Amino acid sequence: MAGQHVAFRITVKSIKERRLPPLDDELAKQVGRGATFEELRQEVHDELQEAAHQSDEQRFENDVLKALDERMEAEVPEALIDREVSRRIRELETRLQEQGVKMERYLQYTNTSLDVLKAEQRPQAVQKVRLELALETVAEREGVTVSDVEVDEAVNNALAEEDHAGHRHGDLRTADPVRAYFRHQLLMRKTIDYLSSVAAPESSATIEPPSEAKELESAGKAAPGGERRARQKKGR
């Protein structure tokens, strides 16, 4: 039918116009966010303000951590980098298993190998280990600590949801590796909060992180499993 004229007949059965509901008390009741429109307006305003505040805090925190990372000059222990790469691979494998996919199948589908996958994870692993070593040293210098009560609360909160689902984790609550993991995560969080509290937005670039290799090695040993891996590295 190329080059020919075609006639179409269209029947319009209805015309609809989208109309927004009036901004009144009835709307607030319908959405279930207040008894009056003013209450709805205030709630939405507060949510937007809180979201903007959190966004500003996150940007500032990222600036502080970037300044800390940029001033770190010491070499990161290879043992800690390898451990972080392995952790990332295990995490990926766990996510794949939850979707019913085996690692071997994933590697075939993506046309890659385990060695290539590890190499791709290495830059992020190096950055994470560098930052954690610096934070651990700052925590030691400034006396930032995590109490057993804080660890108990973190473990209980993390396992509470699965307990409600019928999965009992009583043994995990007292397992040393589990408690060490949560203690480490809490220490990182508290140290970041400390740095953010003492740094002004205009002076975040003046934060002086540790640069001595010996101090960073000590920080690496303080991390869960760090001392044992450091000895293994020296043995090699």
* Residues 72/210, Cβ–Cβ less than 8 Å: yes
With the C-alpha atoms ordered 66, 70, 76, 78, is the resulting torsion angle positive or negative? positive
Is the whole-model pTM more than 0.75?
Answer: no
Q: For a pLDDT cut of 90, what percent of the chain falls above it?
A: 26
How many Å apart are CA 26 and CA 77, to the nearest integer? 63
Is it the case that residue 225 has pLDDT exceeding 60? no
Is residue 92 within 8 Å of 85, Cβ to Cβ? no
Q: What is the pLDDT of residues 69-120, one digit of tens each?
A: 777 777 888 999 999 999 999 999 999 999 999 999 999 999 999 999 999 9
Q: How many CB atoms lie within 10 A of CB 2?
A: 3
Mean pLDDT of 157-164: 70
